[in-house]
Amino acid sequence: MTDPTHENRPPGTRATARKLVTPTEDESRVAVESSRALAAHLGGPGASLTLAVKNGKGMEDLVLPAPAVRLLLNVLTELGQGNAVALDTVHPELTTQQAADLLNVSRPYLVKLLDEGVIPSWKIGTHRRVLREDVLKYKADIDAKRLQALEELAAQAQELNMGY
C-alpha cells in the first residue's frame, strides 16, 4: 500500500498516518541553515515574517503570524537535529484523557486533581471536560514550583559545600 501523503511531501521524507516527517541527512543540513537564518531575522517574541512566494502569476507576499514563525523555527531546529517531527493540535476543550496526556500524568491522577478542584472542570452527561487553558496554567504553575524547589536545593548544596 502506498503512503497517501507521499505526493504532498518533499522527496526523501517519510510519513506515517500521523504525518510524522523524518528528514534525510541533506534535509537536516538545510534545516540547520534555514533555522539559523530565520532566527537571525526574528526581532523578538512577537515578530511576524513576510515571505515572498513565487507563483504562476508572479510574486506574492505571504505574512506568517508570530506563533507560526515560532513553530516554524522549532520545526526547523528539530529537523536540523535529525529528529522526526509531527504536528498535532490541542482543542480548547479536552477530555480527561487528553488533559492527562498533556500533563504526562495518569487519567486517575488527573481525575483526582479535578475532584479536588485544583483544575476546573465540568460534566457533559457523565463525561468531564476541562479547558486547555486551565490545564496549561496548572502545568506552568507546577513547573514554576519545581524550578523554585530545584533552585532552593542547589542553594542548600552550595551552602553545605557539597561540590555541586
DSSP secondary structure, 88-149, as one string: ----SEE-HHHHHHHHTS-HHHHHHHHHTTSS--EEETTEEEEEHHHHHHHHHHHHHHHHHH
Q: Is 50 helix (H, G, I), strand (E, B) or coil?
A: strand
- How many CA atoms does the CB half-sphere of 158 hold within 13 Å? 6
pLDDT exceeds 70 at position 6 = no
Mean pLDDT of 21-39: 92
Question: Domain limits at 102?
Answer: 93-159
45, 80, 115 - which closes a domain: 80
| Same-domain check for residues 63 and 19 | yes
Q: Is residue 164 part of a domain?
A: no
| Same-domain check for residues 102 and 54 | no
Q: Is residue 88 part of a domain?
A: no
Cα four-point dihedral sign 90, 95, 101, 105: positive
| Same-domain check for residues 74 and 105 | no
Contact 135, 119 (CB under 8 A): yes
53, 80, 107 - which closes a domain: 80
| Same-domain check for residues 72 and 134 | no
Q: Is 162 helix (H, G, I), strand (E, B) or coil?
A: coil
| Same-domain check for residues 144 and 101 | yes
Q: What is the pLDDT of residues 41-91, one digit of tens each?
A: 776 666 778 888 888 888 888 888 888 888 999 999 999 999 999 887 778
20, 54, 80 - which closes a domain: 80
Predicted TM-score of the model (pTM): 0.53
The tally of domains found in the chain comes to: 2
pLDDT exceeds 60 at position 35 = yes
